[in-house]
Amino acid sequence: MLNNIAAFHPAAAALNSYESIATATGTGSSGTISFSSIPATYKHLQIRFLTRSTRSASSSNIFIGFNSDTTTGNYYGHMLEGNGSAASAAAKIGSSTSFMSATSAASNTSGIFSGGVIDVLDYANTSKYKTSRGLSGYDANGSGLMYLASGLWMNTNAISSIEITDPLGNFATGSQFALYGIKG
């Protein structure tokens, strides 16, 4: 059916508004990943990640914070989760972090990692509170979670650092995080 297909362009065409800023990896000995000294030269940020927790469970919730602010009351958020049989929702009201993802953890077969993408919008604007949204999940052929997240950081400062935490485990070897900047 190749006669039905047109405009096949194997050569890459670079789009110059999406750039890699930094990467980080899990070592198995820390439950925190930080990106610091984030330049204010982009419009939005995006973090793409592949994660697994060392927690002795099938999953572990991971959270996001900004500029090292862990003040209770500064973060709000919602999550919507599907576990393969039902959908559920939860909220964070006046918390110390925002929702980010539910990651695959140590009781799953080795090699099962979560994938995820989270966007932080208009992060350098100094007249707005900061919002984020995430899409992530893992499947383990019989178990798994699909996870949507939204977050609010009630602060107008430009975001210069991001802290990602797994409070109940560490990020396993093979976990990868990549921070990108998107120009406006």
Partner 1 sequence: MPATYDKIATQTVTGSNLLGTTGITFSSIPSTYTDFRLVQNLTLTAAAIGYIQINGDTGANYSRTSLAGNGSSASSARTTSANQIGTDIAHETSTIGTYTADFMNYSNTTTNKTVLIRNNNTAFGTEAQVGLWRSNSAINSIKLYLDRAEYYVVGSTFTLYGIKAA
Q: Does 37 bind partner 1 (CB under 8 A)?
A: no
Q: Work out how close the CB of 85 gets to partner 1 at its nearest, in angstroms, rounded to a whole number.
A: 6
In the list 43, 44, 48, 78, the residue contacting partner 1 (rule: CB under 8 A) is 48
Distance CA 4, CA 176 (A): 39
Distance CA 168, CA 103 (A): 11
Do 33 and 166 meet the contact criterion of CB atoms below 8 Å apart? Answer: no
Distance CA 59, CA 55 (A): 8
In the list 7, 37, 126, 127, the residue contacting partner 1 (rule: CB under 8 A) is 7
In the list 43, 80, 133, 152, the residue contacting partner 1 (rule: CB under 8 A) is 80
- 129: tokens are 């509170």
Q: Does 93 bind partner 1 (CB under 8 A)?
A: no
Q: 122 or 139: whose CB is closer to partner 1?
A: 139
Three-state secondary-structure class, residue 2:
helix
Q: Does 184 bind partner 1 (CB under 8 A)?
A: no
Q: Is the dihedral of CA 103, 65, 89, 92 positive or negative?
A: positive
In the list 63, 74, 81, 153, the residue contacting partner 1 (rule: CB under 8 A) is 81
Q: Work out how close the CB of 176 gets to partner 1 at its nearest, in angstroms, rounded to a whole number.
A: 6
Q: Does 178 bind partner 1 (CB under 8 A)?
A: yes
Q: Work out how close the CB of 70 gets to partner 1 at its nearest, in angstroms, rounded to a whole number.
A: 27
Torsion of CA 158, 164, 167, 170, to 10 degrees: -160
Question: Which one of 4-12, 58-66, 125-133, 155-163 is the stretch in contact with partner 1 (CB under 8 A)?
Answer: 4-12
Distance CA 17, CA 72 (A): 35
Q: 168 or 174: whose CB is closer to partner 1?
A: 174
Do 47 and 181 meet the contact criterion of CB atoms below 8 Å apart? Answer: no
φ, ψ of residue 2 in degrees (nearest 5) = -60, -20
Site for partner 1, rule CB under 8 A: 1, 3-10, 12-23, 48-50, 80-87, 109, 111-117, 135-142, 144-148, 174, 176, 178, 180-181
